[in-house]
């Protein structure tokens, strides 16, 4: 079975990668297995300055998933560029890194994208547009087509690697936002980000998370991810890296059938640290059972169906 997938900036030996925020910067999982076998690694979000994140508690379990409100905790651009990315390059020189970039203003995104795109092992950037735009009343960049399109255009002007924009499901209609991002020059999409949710403690009668709300991830959101991936694939030919509740090889293939060309695994890494290598090992077996000779051929067939 041929697992290779070619995307803008990314020649992937296989389509499996950990989703940003669920894998740190890779070092933690590298203690358990050789992360060089992954198709790519989406590292934790990087902002211009170090961020300590939200107050605790920041995580709450839910049926078939979890809520998190980490708050983009990270050591900042200088540490990521000066230590973390060079260490990854030294240990895994062939491993493609997708750098997740976040910020509070357009200038934040531009600053990080300009610098981080020059790291030798960064092959693409994932733009986290679910962050509030503090200059425009706190509206999230990814919930307004004009704002999302303008941000995409701004970072495209300074990045030396392809830009994949991470789409939020917390919108009324994802299609105009995807179209605006494509018009802004994006090279692809990653989707979906987490759904906004809340849990309340019956004893205290207060929200469990200190931030009150958090992002819902895990198997519970997979049907939403499948629906939104198909919606975007029907109106755009840009490649999609699908994510949202992936646990099994069948989940991976379902994402492909919806219109994705690669798959990121998030919450499942917390329940099974070995889930990514297990998926890479099990994917050819399941493909053979289903008569799929190569993922590239499957992508072509799905694209032809979508174009009809």
Enzyme catalytic residues:
131
Give 71-130 as a DSSP string.
Answer: ---B--HHHIIIIIHHHHHHH-TT--EEEEE--SSHHHHHHHHHHHTTSTTEEEEEEETT
Distance in angstroms (rounded) separating the CA atoms of residues 137 and 62: 31
Distances in whole angstroms, Cα of residue 174 to Cα of each of 13, 25, 233, 235: 30, 29, 11, 11
Pairing mode, strands 188-191 and 59-62 = unpaired
Preceding peptide of 148 cis, ω within 30°: no
Positions of E strands within 226-275:
240-242, 262-265
Q: For residue 21, what are the contacts with CB-CB under 8 A and spacing of at least 6?
A: 44, 45, 68, 70, 100, 266
Say whether 308 sits in a helix, a strand or coil: coil
Distances in whole angstroms, Cα of residue 246 to Cα of each of 219, 242, 250: 7, 9, 9
């Amino acid at each position: 079975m041929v697992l290779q997938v070619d995307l803008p900036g990314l020649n992937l030996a296989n389509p499996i990668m950990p989703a940003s925020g669920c894998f740190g910067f890779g070092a933690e999982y590298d203690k358990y297995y050789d992360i060089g076998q992954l198709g790519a690694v989406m590292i934790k979000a990087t902002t211009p300055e170090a961020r300590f994140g939200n107050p605790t508690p920041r995580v709450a379990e839910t049926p078939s998933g979890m809520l998190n409100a980490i708050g983009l905790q990270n050591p900042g651009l200088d540490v990521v560029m000066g230590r973390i990315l060079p260490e990854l390059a030294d240990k895994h020189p062939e491993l493609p890194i997708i750098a997740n970039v976040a910020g509070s203003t357009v200038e934040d995104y531009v600053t990080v994208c300009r610098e981080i795109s020059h790291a030798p092992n960064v092959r693409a950037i994932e733009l986290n547009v679910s962050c509030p735009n503090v200059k425009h009343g706190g509206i999230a960049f990814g919930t307004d087509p004009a704002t999302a399109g303008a941000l995409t255009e701004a970072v495209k002007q300074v990045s030396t690697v392809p830009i994949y924009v991470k789409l939020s499901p917390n919108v009324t209609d994802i299609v105009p936002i995807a179209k605006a991002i494509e018009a802004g020059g994006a090279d692809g999409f990653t989707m979906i980000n987490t759904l906004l949710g809340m849990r309340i403690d019956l004893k205290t009668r207060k929200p469990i998370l200190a931030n009150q709300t958090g992002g819902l991830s895990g198997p519970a959101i997979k049907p939403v991810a499948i629906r939104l991936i198909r919606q975007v694939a029907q109106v755009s030919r840009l490649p999609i890296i699908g994510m949202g509740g992936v646990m099994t090889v069948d989940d991976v293939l379902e994402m492909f059938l919806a219109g994705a060309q690669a798959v990121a695994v998030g919450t499942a890494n917390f329940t099974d640290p070995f889930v990514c290598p297990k998926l890479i090992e099990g994917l050819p077996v399941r493909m053979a059972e289903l008569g799929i000779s190569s993922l590239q051929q499957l992508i072509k067939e799905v694209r032809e169906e979508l174009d009809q």
